[in-house]
């Protein structure tokens, strides 16, 4: 899947901006246009824009509608619609005719448009279904025992819905390049760049361009290997990118990539044969007013803060992020653990998650399809160094192994990158962790257990990490640890929720992990405060951010900046 671009053979027209919008019935089919629409901004989540609780908390379907004009006098092209993400399930109509359906809110939809001769204006309707169930990712539960559908989610971020990412109308030549897959292999003084072009056109020229813009390799085959002598490697803080420029008879496309090697060996994560230690965060796509909307200026701010604090990595907790985040990470040399939207696989009760009636075979097929879409989208990003298969699933359940064995097998058939699973259950009862290359642990000692008591962190945390390591003998990343902190709340001696306590909390954890050499990374929870469903422990959202929701530092940010500078 190639990102829409404008070049000498292709045109990409942004459809971001104002759209018509309304809340619609569950059987809405877009045959007639919205009667009294209001306007909405794309990209954004609708939940954060309006003023009533009914609008914010709406469960059901919403419709985005826009009149789209196809430019005239461009011949022998195919027009397509590219929606960066549309959750949770979506239906796409053109003049009321269904042209596509999608399950999943965090990966792109790319459709060819049935354009008629001499007709230039079309009404595009994108109907989004906010509901989550056992056959979606994230997993949620629906109950219909009242007049209105009721949604239960068992995970900790708001179910924000909208056209969150860029929407493009774009065209490609009828005979065009469909995809380019690039893999690099590192040898002593050279690298092999293997590429495969998917096209219904004839390949004329393939050029490998180095970071200075010089052509350092050539071919004219659909599939091949180009050797690069003394390559400049993509690395932490070094977003060194090469390009593969492909020309076919009718089309041209340039894809960026980096030359780097990722491997897990013993208890180490190796990047270009050197051990790396991950410093950074679990993040969220979450901003004031635009919700899960992805906007360049705000993404740039996040990367500026990552750099300022000396982070070298982040996990896309708990779903794949907008493509631009990966482009920026490629350019800045930031490592990404790319997480599947497999969250909510835990009802925090005795009710079984992995079961014929709940998360079942059909759910597993949904997972596999979404992984295929993820890898198709992200395969050429050097910043992606690992995939995270799930967050805090009930891996102690009887049928969890069955579910995850097939998932791991499927993922391994599509990528050679290391795989991680993020765990909350203890080492002993875990039935799945042996399938992963790296184990992620989320721990909240001194918060959800032993609240406000940091004296127990040292022994308990050491114990938990060591027991996982002894049982599985795999490297471990502390993927979550943190304390809710109200910005501006200071107290001496510290109390929970104060900025002083947040520093003491992180410091106590760091003291333990700094001494354990099988711990290969620390990701503080969370990069920034974020929106969640309402709850007794949530004062307007999750406040474990090192930065506030509007991206200003709490005291701990300055502390971490010093600690991570080393």
- Nearer residue to ligand GCB within complex by CB, 47 or 391: 391
Burial environment of residue 143 by CB neighbours within 10 A (0 to 12, 13 to 18, 19 or more): exposed
Q: How far is the CB of 353 from ligand GCB (least distance, A)?
A: 15
Beta-bridge partners for 180: 197
Spatial distance between the Cα atoms of 424 and 396, rounded to a whole number of angstroms: 10
- Nearer residue to ligand GCB within complex by CB, 252 or 278: 278
Is residue 544 near ligand GCB by the rule CB under 6 A? Answer: yes
Is residue 542 near ligand GCB by the rule CB under 6 A? Answer: yes
Spatial distance between the Cα atoms of 257 and 280, rounded to a whole number of angstroms: 23
Rounded to the nearest 10 degrees, the angle between the axes of helix 296-308 and helix 323-332 is 40
Spatial distance between the Cα atoms of 370 and 105, rounded to a whole number of angstroms: 10
Q: Which of 91, 323, 378, 392 binds ligand GCB (CB under 6 A)?
A: 392
List the catalytic residue out of 48, 423, 464, 480: 480
Task: Report cis status (omega within 30 of 0) of the bond before 318.
Answer: yes
Q: How far is the CB of 544 from ligand GCB (least distance, A)?
A: 5
Beta-bridge partners for 462: none
Q: Which of 391, 430, 485, 498 binds ligand GCB (CB under 6 A)?
A: 391
249 is catalytic: no
Sheet strands (E) in 368-415: 384-391
Please say whether the beta carbons of 90 and 101 come within 8 A.
yes
Is residue 159 near ligand GCB by the rule CB under 6 A? Answer: no
- Nearer residue to ligand GCB within complex by CB, 110 or 156: 156
480 is catalytic: yes
Which residues in 459-488 contact ligand GCB (CB under 6 A)? 480
Is residue 156 near ligand GCB by the rule CB under 6 A? Answer: yes
- Nearer residue to ligand GCB within complex by CB, 153 or 275: 153
Give residues with Cβ within 8 angstroms of 140, minimum separation 6.
Answer: 131, 132, 133, 151, 152, 153, 154, 159, 344
- Nearer residue to ligand GCB within complex by CB, 391 or 395: 391
Q: How far is the CB of 458 from ligand GCB (least distance, A)?
A: 21
Which residues in 298-357 contact ligand GCB (CB under 6 A)? 318
Q: How far is the CB of 49 from ligand GCB (least distance, A)?
A: 24
Mapped onto helix, strand or coil, the DSSP state of residue 263 is: strand
Spatial distance between the Cα atoms of 25 and 38, rounded to a whole number of angstroms: 16
Which residues in 492-531 contact ligand GCB (CB under 6 A)? 525
Q: Which of 45, 130, 248, 442 binds ligand GCB (CB under 6 A)?
A: 442
Q: Minimal CB distance to ligand GCB: which residue?
A: 156
Residue 483 half-sphere exposure toward CB, CA atoms < 13 A: 31
Is residue 158 near ligand GCB by the rule CB under 6 A? Answer: no
Residues with a known catalytic role: 392, 480
What residue ranges bind ligand GCB (CB under 6 A)?
155-156, 318, 391-392, 442, 480, 525, 542, 544
């Amino acid at each position: 899947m190639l990102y829409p671009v404008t070049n000498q053979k292709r045109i990409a027209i942004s459809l971001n901006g104002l759209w018509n919008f309304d809340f619609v019935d569950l059987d809405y089919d877009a045959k007639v246009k919205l009667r009294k629409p209001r306007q909405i901004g794309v990209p954004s989540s609708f939940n954060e824009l309006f003023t009533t609780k009914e609008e914010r908390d709406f469960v059901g379907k919403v419709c985005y509608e826009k009149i789209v004009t196809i430019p005239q006098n461009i011949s022998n092209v195919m027009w397509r619609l590219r929606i960066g993400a549309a959750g949770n399930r979506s239906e796409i109509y053109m003049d009321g005719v269904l042209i596509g359906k999608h399950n999943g809110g965090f990966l792109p939809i790319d459709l060819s448009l049935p354009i008629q001769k001499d007709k230039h204006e079309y009404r595009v309707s994108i109907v989004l279904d906010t509901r989550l169930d056992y056959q979606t990712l994230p997993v949620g539960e629906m109950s219909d025992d009242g007049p209105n559908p009721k949604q239960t989610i068992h995970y900790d971020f708001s179910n924000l819905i909208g056209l969150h990412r860029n929407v493009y109308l774009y065209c490609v030549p009828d005979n065009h390049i469909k995809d380019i897959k690039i893999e690099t292999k590192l040898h002593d003084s050279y690298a092999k760049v293997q590429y495969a072009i998917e096209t219904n056109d004839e390949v004329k020229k393939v050029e490998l361009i180095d970071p200075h813009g010089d052509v350092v390799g050539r071919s004219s085959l659909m599939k091949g290997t180009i050797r690069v002598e003394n390559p400049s490697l993509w690395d932490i803080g070094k977003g060194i990118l090469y390009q593969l420029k492909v020309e076919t008879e009718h089309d041209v496309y340039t894809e960026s990539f980096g030359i780097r090697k990722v491997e897990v060996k013993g208890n180490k994560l190796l990047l270009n044969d050197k051990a790396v230690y991950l410093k950074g965060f679990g993040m969220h796509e979450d901003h004031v007013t635009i919700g899960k909307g992805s906007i360049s200026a705000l993404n740039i701010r996040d990367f500026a803060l990552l750099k300022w604090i000396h982070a070298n990595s982040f996990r896309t907790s708990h779903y794949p992020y907008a493509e631009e985040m990966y482009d920026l990470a490629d350019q800045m040399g930031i490592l990404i653990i790319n997480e599947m939207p497999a969250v909510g696989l835990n009802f925090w009760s005795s009710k079984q998650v992995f079961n014929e009636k709940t998360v079942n075979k059909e759910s597993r097929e949904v997972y596999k399809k979404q992984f295929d879409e993820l890898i198709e989208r992200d395969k050429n990003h050097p910043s992606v160094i690992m995939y995270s298969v799930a967050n805090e699933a009930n891996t102690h359940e009887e049928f969890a192994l069955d579910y995850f064995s097939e998932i791991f097998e499927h993922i391994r058939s599509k990528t050679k990158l290391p795989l991680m699973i993020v765990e909350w259950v203890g080492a002993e009862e875990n039935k799945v962790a042996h399938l992963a290359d790296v184990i992620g642990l989320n721990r909240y000692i001194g918060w959800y257990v032993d609240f406000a008591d940091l004296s127990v962190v040292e022994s308990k945390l050491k114990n938990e990490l060591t027991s996982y390591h002894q049982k599985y003998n795999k490297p471990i990343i502390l993927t979550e640890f943190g304390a809710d902190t109200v910005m501006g709340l200071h107290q001496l001696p510290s109390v929970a929720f104060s900025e002083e306590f947040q520093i003491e909390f992180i410091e106590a954890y760091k003291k333990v992990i700094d001494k354990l050499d099988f711990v290969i990374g620390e990701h503080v929870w969370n990069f920034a405060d974020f929106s969640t469903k309402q709850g007794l422990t949530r004062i307007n959202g999750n406040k474990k951010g090192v930065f506030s929701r509007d991206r200003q530092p709490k005291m701990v940010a300055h502390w971490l900046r010093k600690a991570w500078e080393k």
